[in-house]
Amino acid sequence: MRAFFRRVAAMAIKETTHISRDKQVIYMALGMPVVLLLLFGYAISFDLDLLPMGLLDRDNTPESRSLIQAMTASDAFEITKHLDDPNQLHEYFKNGELKTGLIIEPGYSKSLKRNETATAQLVLDGTDGTTAGIALGYAAGVAQAQNLRNMEKLGLMAELPIQARVRALYNPSMDSSKFIVPGLIAMILAIMATLLTAITVAREWELGSMEQLFSTPVGRLEILLGKLIPYIVIGIVQVLLVITIGSILFDIPVKGPLYLLFGTSFLFLACTMGQGLFISVLTKAQMVSTQAAMISTLVPTILLSGFMFPIENMPWPLQALSYIVPARYFIDSLRGILLKGNGFSVLWPDILALGIISLVILAASTARFKRRLD
């Protein structure tokens, strides 16, 4: 057993020396996560931010202006064009100058005063489904609030019979970065971890040093563990880096216990690095394994992890597939730890799943790792 640890240590020291001599690996390991986080953190947003809106106010009364003001009160919409004709919207939607239009017909205020149904028309550019959906929800909310206020003024009814009081817990301003950044952290860690380890075994095959290694009593598991250890340390540094930047730039809190944050990160790194090793063991070539690593982490981490698309809405085969994607469990626990302050009692199923996946992948790599040349 002592010999086992000595050999693992020898491998780990050697691997650390390789890394310390290779500036590219260091730049990649510490620079790439920052670049990716900034890039994606600012690029991906589900919040409406000054969506250009065209306005045609044919009523032009205090009531209609009150509606317009309500619409533009937050920074969701911004009136950038005043229209003379509703048909102008087509032109502006086509050239992309406008995304929405608000048309208030004459008689809006009269209908309101007579307690009849008053109509204001919201027109949306449906080609961008996500934005249109969010805009629609927002506008509906504004209209309802406006209704209540008018009814109150008329002294008709102080409250609606059923009133849904919407309050988004853990993310009161419904800030999408709070939702995205944990997923981003998982994606960045997954890419980096798989890439870094996918190269390492393949490189030994290409250099011919694998043959020399095989002539020593070093075992397969010892080779894999020795290679894993320094990269896990790098991975933990990446976690620290990304969480720090996340909390500074995107106001991501860390409400849960730190030991859980690092514990789940460690298990997730073990899964993704194990995946990289597995690829490396199979392909034995650096070029192929790099590409395989990119595809095999990016696609599932983005599509099947709940990062962007809710797993509950997927058809059942994809849902089933998502159970073997480690990012699914990691993103869930990250959101829990960072935003909700969840503890072990809530997160243990995620932790268990990550533990099982990492053991399975490491076992599979060891099994597929032929210690002989034939």
Partner 1 sequence: MNEPLSISVHELTKRFGDFTAVDRVSFEVRRGEIFGYLGANGAGKSTTIRMLCGLLSPSSGAARVADTDIFQKPEEVKRHIGYMSQKFSLYMDLRVEENLEFFGGAFGMWGKKLKKRAEYLLDRVELLDHAQMLTGRMPGGWRQRLALACAMLHEPEILFLDEPTSGVDPRSRRNFWRLIRELADEGTTVFVTTHYMDEAEYCDRVGLMVAGRLPALDTPSELKKTWVPGRMFMVRGIDSTRALSLKRRDEILAVESFGTGYHVQTSDEVSSPGDMGKMLQMDKREQVEIEEVEASLEDVFLRVIASFHKDNTSQEDS
Closest to 298 measured CA to CA, from 272, 321, 277: 272
Choose which of 1, 21, 85, 166 interacts with partner 1 (CB under 8 A). 21
Closer to partner 1 at the Cβ: 162 or 373? 373
Choose which of 62, 161, 172, 217 interacts with partner 1 (CB under 8 A). 217
User: CA 246, CA 268: separation in Å to the nearest integer?
Assistant: 19
Q: Interface with partner 1 by CB under 8 A: which range of 76-84, 161-169, 213-221, 319-327?
A: 213-221
Beta pairing, strands 120-124 & 100-104: antiparallel
Q: Interface with partner 1 by CB under 8 A: which range of 90-98, 112-120, 212-220, 320-328?
A: 212-220
Residues forming a β-bridge with 103: 56, 121
**Any contact of residue 14 with partner 1 (CB under 8 A)?**
yes
**Any contact of residue 23 with partner 1 (CB under 8 A)?**
no
**Any contact of residue 237 with partner 1 (CB under 8 A)?**
no
In the complex, minimum distance from the CB of residue 28 to partner 1, in angstroms, rounded to a whole number: 16
**Any contact of residue 17 with partner 1 (CB under 8 A)?**
yes
Choose which of 172, 208, 315, 317 interacts with partner 1 (CB under 8 A). 208
Choose which of 114, 178, 213, 271 interacts with partner 1 (CB under 8 A). 213
Helices assigned H by DSSP within the chain: 2-21, 23-43, 62-72, 88-95, 108-113, 129-154, 176-207, 209-214, 220-250, 258-283, 286-303, 316-322, 326-335, 344-368
Residues in region 153-182 near partner 1 by CB under 8 A: none
Please, are residues 303 and 309 in contact by the beta-carbon 8 Å criterion?
yes
**Any contact of residue 26 with partner 1 (CB under 8 A)?**
no
User: CA 337, CA 342: separation in Å to the nearest integer?
Assistant: 5
The CA distances from residue 302 to 6, 42, 71, 193, 374, in Å, are 39, 17, 34, 16, 38
User: CA 44, CA 37: separation in Å to the nearest integer?
Assistant: 10
Q: Interface with partner 1 by CB under 8 A: which range of 92-100, 114-122, 158-166, 205-213?
A: 205-213
Choose which of 115, 212, 244, 319 interacts with partner 1 (CB under 8 A). 212
Using the structure block, give the residue that is written with the tokens 């500036």.
23
**Any contact of residue 340 with partner 1 (CB under 8 A)?**
no
Type of residue found at 168:
A
Q: What is the DSSP string of 229-294?
A: HHHHHHHHHHHHHHHHHHHHHH-----S-HHHHHHHHHHHHHHHHHHHHHHHHHH--HHHHHHHHH
In the complex, minimum distance from the CB of residue 216 to partner 1, in angstroms, rounded to a whole number: 4
Binding mask 294-323 for partner 1 (x = CB under 8 A): ------------------------------
In the complex, minimum distance from the CB of residue 203 to partner 1, in angstroms, rounded to a whole number: 10
Binding-site size for partner 1 (CB under 8 A) equals 27
**Structure letter (DSSP) for residue 86:** T
Closer to partner 1 at the Cβ: 130 or 215? 215
Chain contacts with partner 1 (rule: CB under 8 A): 3, 6-7, 9-11, 13-14, 17-18, 21-22, 207-218, 372-374
